[in-house]
Amino acid sequence: MKALSVSFFKVKRHFAGVATALLVVLFFTSVKAVSYKAPVILPAVQDTSVSSSVKALLANGAAYYYPASLQRFYMQNGYSLAWVKPETVKAHSWEAMLLLDCVIQFGLNHADYHPQELQYDRLHFLTEHFDKATNLEKAAYDIMLTDAMLAFMNNLHYGKLNPNYVAGKVDEGVKGNMRADSALAAALVDKDFMSAAINVQPQSAAYVSLQYHMHLLTGLYTGDCYETSEGDLRKMAVNMERLRWINNDEPYNITINIPSYTLTVHKPDTTYRFKVIVGKPEAPTPTLESAISHFTTAPEWKVPQKIFAKETLPKALKNIDYLENSHYAIYSNSGKYIEPTRGNILAALRNPSGYYARQSSGCDNSLGAIVFRFPNVYDVYLHDTPEQKLFAKTDRAFSHGCIRVENAGKLAGLILQEDGSGNKAPEVYRAMKNYQTKTFTLKKTVPIKVIYLTSEVVDGYVVMYNDIYNLDKRLEMALYNVEQPLTMQ
- On whether residue 193 sits in a domain, the answer given is yes
Q: How far is CA 201 from CA 194, 198, 248, 437, 488, in A?
A: 12, 6, 12, 45, 27
Rg of the chain taking only CA atoms, in angstroms = 28
| 290/334 same-domain check | no
pLDDT value of position 321: 84
pLDDT value of position 47: 53
- On whether residue 249 sits in a domain, the answer given is no
| 328/383 same-domain check | no
Contact at 8 Å (CB) between 57 and 139?
Answer: yes
User: DSSP string spanning 27-65?
Assistant: HHHH-------S-----S-----HHHHHHHHHT-GGGSS
| 179/135 same-domain check | yes
- On whether residue 289 sits in a domain, the answer given is yes
* 86-97 CB burial, b ≥16 within 10 A, e <16: eeeeebbbbbbb
Rounded-to-integer distance, Cα 162 and Cα 349, Å: 42
- On whether residue 222 sits in a domain, the answer given is no
pLDDT value of position 244: 96
List average pLDDT for each run of 10 residues in the chain, which is 489 residues long: 43 39 40 37 58 95 95 96 93 96 94 96 95 95 98 97 93 91 97 96 93 87 62 94 88 96 94 96 95 93 86 90 81 88 92 87 74 93 92 94 95 96 96 93 96 94 95 92 64
| 36/87 same-domain check | yes
| 271/315 same-domain check | no
| 347/280 same-domain check | no
Q: How far is CA 154 from CA 157, 181, 196, 209, 245, in A?
A: 5, 10, 14, 20, 12
- On whether residue 5 sits in a domain, the answer given is no
- On whether residue 409 sits in a domain, the answer given is yes
CA-based nearest residue to 348, from 361, 331, 372: 331
pLDDT value of position 335: 85
pLDDT value of position 170: 95
pLDDT value of position 355: 93
Domain count, the chain: 3
Torsion angle defined by CA atoms of residues 466, 469, 472 and 478, in that order, rounded to the nearest 10 degrees: 180
pLDDT value of position 361: 64
Rounded-to-integer distance, Cα 132 and Cα 199, Å: 36
- On whether residue 312 sits in a domain, the answer given is yes
pLDDT value of position 249: 75
| 135/47 same-domain check | yes
CA-based nearest residue to 26, from 105, 130, 132, 80: 105
Rounded-to-integer distance, Cα 145 and Cα 93, Å: 8
pLDDT value of position 347: 93
Express the helix, strand and coil content of the chain in percent, nearest 5 each: 40, 15, 40
Contact at 8 Å (CB) between 175 and 145?
Answer: no
Secondary structure element (H or E) that encloses residue 86, with its range:
none
Rounded-to-integer distance, Cα 331 and Cα 338, Å: 5
Q: How far is CA 368 from CA 67, 199, 218, 384, 387, in A?
A: 54, 45, 47, 4, 9
pLDDT value of position 67: 97
pLDDT value of position 386: 85
Domain of 283, CATH number, reads 2.40.440.10
Which domain range does residue 173 map to? Answer: 31-201
